[in-house]
Structure 1
């Protein structure tokens, strides 16, 4: 029996090939089953059976669950892709309006426009002969603090500059809409 580090039968190649790790990490989703965050030291409320005390509320708040739902991940991916297209100059910043809650749309579009202007300034400062580097996503970290709301932090890179973008999406009438966007 051969070990994994021995040479292959023809003697010219190793049995195991090592490949370099990509420069980005995938989103955090290594927990196959969501875990409910509870404490063993948390006090439980015992309600009397005779009804003398106030009864518990009829609608209980759902427990906080680790990780984000698949629907939230899809909405984040869609929003990030649209923001990157705006930052690269392939879309106008006004296209962010349709993915934002109407009461917050002006702020979301203004942040997208400011980020697009900054990216355009970076492209203009480079030499005319140099290829303009697009804004690319390095890492996306997201969490769902409550059902129907997801917050994400995105690391972006263009050339030798690293940026950050943070946003919040909320579920309104079965549609994910942005309520906040910040490009740093």
Structure 2
């Protein structure tokens, strides 16, 4: 998964210039202590490395299914049994959409490429992620939820939705 190279202008090497000198007669602004961030914001901002790794593995499995290297039923092995059929159906629908968008003359490997993945961990052992996928010049998105079974158990998918 390589990102495209982007050329950006170099920053100015000159320090910023202030037109007016600082007025030393004015009192310094009062220091305001920042309140602790809300727990919801902490959940959205951070996810454990295991959480990121589980999400990337799930995305790569879905991409292999879309490329035709794996059958959609393999998702059921890493899904909770109650939701497995719904998740398999959703990933199969995504694979059909990728095939439908494929222009003639393209190889399977050019079909789908991940562009961006966002992962959050609302509470320990629960991962919610969204991935943006480039599909032949258009975009698909997949949102999914993974839950860890026990303290050291495997991560199982409990929901997946193609947007």
Give the TM-score normalised by the residue count of structure 2. Answer: 0.70
1:21 aligns with 2:6: yes
1:172 aligns with 2:155: no
Instruction: Please name the residue that 1:161 is paired with.
Output: 138
1:107 aligns with one of 86, 107, 123: 86
In structure 2, stretches of 5+ residues that fail to align are: 8-35
Following TM superposition, by how much is the alpha carbon of 1:66 offset from its aligned partner in structure 2, in angstroms? Answer: 3.6
Following TM superposition, by how much is the alpha carbon of 1:64 offset from its aligned partner in structure 2, in angstroms? Answer: 4.8
Root-mean-square deviation (CA, aligned residues, Å) is: 2.3
More helix by share: 2
Structure 1 or 2, whichever has the larger Rg, is 1
1: CA distance, partners of 2:156 / 2:84: 9
Instruction: Please name the residue that 1:96 is paired with.
Output: 75
Contact 1:135 1:156 in 2 (8 A): yes
Count residues with an aligned counterpart: 127
Following TM superposition, by how much is the alpha carbon of 1:160 offset from its aligned partner in structure 2, in angstroms? Answer: 1.1
Give the TM-score normalised by the residue count of structure 1. Answer: 0.63
In structure 1, stretches of 5+ residues that fail to align are: 1-19, 23-35, 40-62
2: CA distance, partners of 1:161 / 1:64: 31
